[in-house]
Structure 1
Amino acid sequence: MKKLILVATLASVAGAAAAGAMAQQPAQKGSEDPDRMICRRITQTGSRLQGERVCMTAAQWAEQRRIQRSDIEHAQTTIIDHSGG
């Protein structure tokens, strides 16, 4: 059950981050500098008021997306034993 909650939280954070990234980044995909700083506002799930501003380089954001995608794919392919023992 804890894994399911973790996966749901990661998915919602990743979705919110992706939505925020689409709204804040220009359409220039080919000329992206990996050392360019990008700041995004990450909101807490279930709250419209609380959130924090996170600044990382474009390369760090890309690595963060890769890790989140890997974690979600792993959680989706993991078989959970509900037999209780």
Structure 2
Amino acid sequence: MAEKLSHSGINDVASLIAAIVDENEARFIGIRRRIHEYPEIAFEEVRTAALVAEIWQASGSSTRPVSVALASSGTSAARGPVPPC
């Protein structure tokens, strides 16, 4: 049975997230600026999808482009080998 997360556990998670945000604030701001430098039409975010793929690949994830009925752009990421379509 799953144990309930104690209030101190929630605080630990919140502190961990806050530390990650603090350590990466400049990076997050840079990513936001890159996204907003070239606004894209909804469901046609080619540059944004490429940026997401670049960030995921830099972290060691594999990526592949995704196209669905509504959108012509997108990115799927996975740790390890890319799963088959």
Q: TM-score, normalized by length of structure 1?
A: 0.35
Greater share of residues in strand: 1
Higher-RCO chain (CA-CA 8 Å, sequence separation at least 6): 1
